[in-house]
């Protein structure tokens, strides 16, 4: 007789996950493509962030004179403990019995029923992949302009800070831009989004030497660009605008591309702790990243299941670099359990090269 516990193992679930991803045909999460990924032991994450600035010219010196000592470049050491995430599901005794009965009657359809049953742990893996993507965009597009990660445990929220309060004030001066008043992008008759993006790119380059190249936003924010009357005038020309010719998205993309701005429209959603669907990039916010800069790495720690699962009465599999899938069966009642867990946190060495734009700041 076929037993569910013999099929719904962590190894089988990991194998099915790879096939499930391929069958979904979903593109990878955008944030994950911008950060590397690696595994490490332990819970502590530390990284060194250089205080980047424009190069300063050497001072003139007399021959045979002692060289003047320049102040140190300056580095910040950022340390955090990586948060732990874990949920489980259970296959009931009834599900175990139904699986045995069905496969006995229809042995050729065993794989079909198994695929339906193991969707529950696959959904846990999908949820685990949401966690680092949320973290990445909290760093790349923080609503208050200060990179930090918010973690909710039970009914309490905790912030994982990436800079001191003093550094945050200076950071926002350069790396957080707010568009206010009549220029807010929600005002299509008075907003000038194309000029805003071009000017922010120019001023940031003059101030830091970085060249903003990729501007990431969700579709609602992108539609504000397209809906602005000034966008139509700038891209199509005043005559076409007056004649009411429809503006094509591609025309605006090409216009901005000609000025060194690559637009990324990212519409993926997730469901938060309150059960509300959210964009990874909030509406009204843009993350502008500089060309040729390593933003950081997604670091996975070693979960309790990974550390001890091999010696316990269960089965272990690791998917997606650092997500642990652990399965085990209790003797009484006879239930098969699947636990999905991860310890994860991004580094953010490239934070000085990123600008967050709030296009509807103020009232």
Q: Which residues pair with 25 in a beta bridge?
A: none
Cα separation, 84 vs 240, whole angstroms:
56
What is the full DSSP assignment across 79-116? EEEPPEEEEEEEE-HHHHHHHHHHHHH-GGGHHHHHHH
Cα separation, 201 vs 288, whole angstroms:
9
Whether 35 is in a domain gets the answer: yes
Q: Is 176 left (phi over 0), alpha (psi -120 to 50) or beta?
A: beta
**3-state class of 135 per DSSP?**
helix
Q: Rank 4-13, 167-176, 316-325 by mean pLDDT and report only the highest.
A: 167-176
Q: At residue 102, what are phi and psi to the nearest 5 degrees? A: -65, -45
CATH number for 48: 3.90.1690
154: pLDDT strictly greater than 80:
no
Please give the average per-residue pLDDT across 179-194, as a whole number.
96
Helices 193-208 and 219-227 sit at what angle, rounded to 10 degrees? 110
Q: Note the pLDDT of residue 9.
A: 82
Whether 64 is in a domain gets the answer: no
Higher-pLDDT residue of 81 and 345 is 345
Kindly tell me the burial class for residue 154, based on how many C-beta atoms sit within 10 Å of its own C-beta (0-12, 13-18, 19 or more): exposed
Please give the average per-residue pLDDT across 213-233, as a whole number.
95
Helices 229-236 and 249-257 sit at what angle, rounded to 10 degrees? 70
Q: Is 303 left (phi over 0), alpha (psi -120 to 50) or beta?
A: beta
Percent of the chain topping pLDDT 90? 42
Look up residue 26 and give its two tokens: 């979903």
Q: Note the pLDDT of residue 189.
A: 95
Cα separation, 246 vs 345, whole angstroms:
45
What is the full DSSP assignment across 253-277? HHHHHTTT-EEEE---EEE-TTS-E
Is the preceding omega at residue 128 within 30 degrees of 0, hence cis? no
Cα separation, 252 vs 323, whole angstroms:
40
Residue 142's contacts (CB-CB under 8 Å, 6 or more residues apart) are 148, 356
- Find the helix or strand (DSSP H, E) in which 133 lies: helix 119-140
Look up residue 314 and give its two tokens: 């269960």
Look up residue 323 and give its two tokens: 């997500």
Whether 171 is in a domain gets the answer: yes
Cα separation, 186 vs 221, whole angstroms:
9
- Judge contact between 356 and 145, C-beta under 8 A: yes
Q: Note the pLDDT of residue 1.
A: 47
Whether 59 is in a domain gets the answer: no
Look up residue 273 and give its two tokens: 């702790």
Cβ-defined contacts of 232-239 (< 8 Å, 24+): 234/194, 234/195, 235/194
Whether 68 is in a domain gets the answer: no
Helices 249-257 and 193-208 sit at what angle, rounded to 10 degrees? 20
302: pLDDT strictly greater than 60:
yes
Residue 319 belongs to what domain range? 4-52+76-358
Whether 69 is in a domain gets the answer: no
- Find the helix or strand (DSSP H, E) in which 287 lies: strand 285-290
Q: Note the pLDDT of residue 65.
A: 59
- Judge contact between 360 and 184, C-beta under 8 A: yes
Q: Note the pLDDT of residue 40.
A: 79
Whether 60 is in a domain gets the answer: no
Closest to 345 (Cα-Cα) out of 160, 168, 167: 160
Domains in the chain, number: 1
Of the listed ranges 37-41, 62-66, 161-165, 204-208, the least confidently predicted one is 62-66
Specify the residue for token string 């970085």.
Answer: 210
pLDDT digits (tens, 9 = 90+) for 32-91: 999 999 887 766 666 555 555 445 555 555 555 555 545 544 445 556 667 888 899 888
């Amino acid at each position: 007789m076929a037993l569910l516990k013999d099929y719904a193992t962590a190894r089988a679930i990991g194998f099915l996950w790879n096939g499930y991803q391929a069958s979904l045909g979903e593109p990878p999460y955008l944030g994950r493509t911008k950060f590397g990924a690696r595994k490490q032991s332990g819970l502590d994450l530390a990284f060194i962030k250089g205080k980047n600035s424009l190069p300063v010219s050497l001072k003139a010196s007399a021959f045979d004179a002692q060289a003047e000592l320049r102040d140190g470049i300056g580095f910040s050491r950022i340390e955090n403990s990586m948060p732990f995430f874990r949920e489980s599901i259970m296959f009931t005794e009834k599900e175990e019995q139904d699986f045995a009965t069905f496969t006995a009657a229809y042995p050729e359809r065993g794989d079909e029923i198994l695929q339906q049953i193991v969707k529950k742990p696959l959904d846990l893996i999908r949820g685990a992949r949401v966690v680092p993507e949320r973290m990445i965009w909290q760093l790349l597009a923080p609503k208050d302009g200060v990179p930090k990660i918010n973690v909710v445990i039970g009914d309490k929220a905790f912030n994982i800070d990436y800079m001191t309060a003093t550094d945050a004030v200076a950071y926002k001066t350069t790396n957080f831009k707010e568009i206010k008043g009549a220029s807010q992008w929600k005002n299509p008759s008075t907003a000038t989004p194309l000029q805003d993006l071009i000017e922010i790119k120019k001023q940031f380059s003059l101030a830091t030497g970085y060249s903003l190249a990729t501007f990431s936003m969700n579709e609602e924010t992108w539609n504000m660009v397209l809906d602005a009357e000034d966008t139509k005038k700038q891209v199509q020309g005043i005559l076409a605008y007056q004649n009411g010719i429809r503006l094509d998205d591609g025309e605006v993309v090409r216009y901005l591309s000609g000025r060194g701005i690559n637009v990324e429209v990212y519409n993926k959603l997730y469901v938060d702790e309150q059960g509300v669907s959210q964009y990874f990039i909030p509406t009204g916010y843009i993350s502008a990243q500089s060309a040729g800069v390593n933003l950081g790495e997604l670091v996975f720690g070693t979960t309790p299941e990974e550390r001890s699962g091999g010696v316990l009465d269960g089965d272990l599999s690791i998917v997606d670099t650092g997500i642990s899938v652990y399965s085990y069966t209790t003797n009484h009642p006879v239930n098969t359990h699947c636990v999905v867990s991860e310890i994860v946190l991004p580094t953010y060495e490239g934070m000085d090269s990123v600008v967050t734009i709030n296009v509807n700041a103020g009232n």
